[in-house]
Amino acid sequence: MEKTKETSDLEKKLDDVLAILLRKSAGSRVTLRIDDAARGWNVDFICAEAVRSEIKSLRGDGSIDQRGAATVKWMAANKRNLIQPDIVNDPDPAPPPALMGVYAAKAQMLSPLLSATGYLSGWISVHYVEGTHRFTDDEVRALDEARAEVMHLSGIGSPPDRPAA
C-alpha cells in the first residue's frame, strides 16, 4: 500500500513530536507504533521515530511480534505507562529479547495509546542504551505530553464524529 501525502505529512509531524520527547527524556531512541490499516501502519513496524545519531534505528524492522510481547500485554491489561528503569536484571514483565540484544536497550518507558473503547491501538517507547536509568518526574511528564500530542494528531481516542487534527 502506497502512502498518501496526508499520511507522509502526519508521519513527519509525529517524528517531530518524538524528537522533542527524545530531547526532554534524555533517551537514546523513541519509537511510535500504531495499528491503522487505512494509513498502512501496523504495530510490528514503527510509524515514527527519533534516534540519536549513534544509535541503531528500528525503521523497517518487523522482526519482533509486538503484540506477543509481555510488555505489550501488560500495557493492554493495565492501560497505563510501563516504566522500567532496568530491563537487564530480571525485569517484570520482560521485554522481547531482541530489544536488549540487537537494539541494546537497558531501560525503557512505554506509554499506551488507547482507543475510545480502551483498545491498545499503539504505544510510544523510549529506550535507553547507555545503561539502566532512574526516571525523573519531568521525563515521565514529557512522555505523557507526547502521548497526548500523538493521540491528538492521529485521532486515537477521538469519538468517530471528531476527526483528528
Cell numbers 533517551: residue: 27
The predicted model scores a pTM of 0.91
* Helix (H) / strand (E) containing 2: none
Nearest CA among 108, 115, 93 for reference residue 34: 115
Among 3-12, 32-41, 43-52, 53-62, name the one with the lowest average pLDDT: 53-62
How do beta strands 48-51 and 29-34 pair?
A: antiparallel
Tell the CATH superfamily of the 5-154 domain: GAF domain (3.30.450.40)
23 CB neighbour count, 10 Å cutoff: 13
- Which are the contacts of 135, defined by CB distance < 8 A and separation ≥ 6? 83, 85, 107, 109
* Residue 116 in this model has a pLDDT that exceeds 50: yes
Q: DSSP H helical segments within the chain, as ranges? A: 5-25, 70-78, 97-100, 137-154
- Taking only the tens place, the pLDDT of each residue in 68-105 is 999 999 999 999 999 999 999 988 998 888 777 777 89
* Residue 162 in this model has a pLDDT that exceeds 50: no
Domain ranges of the chain: 5-154
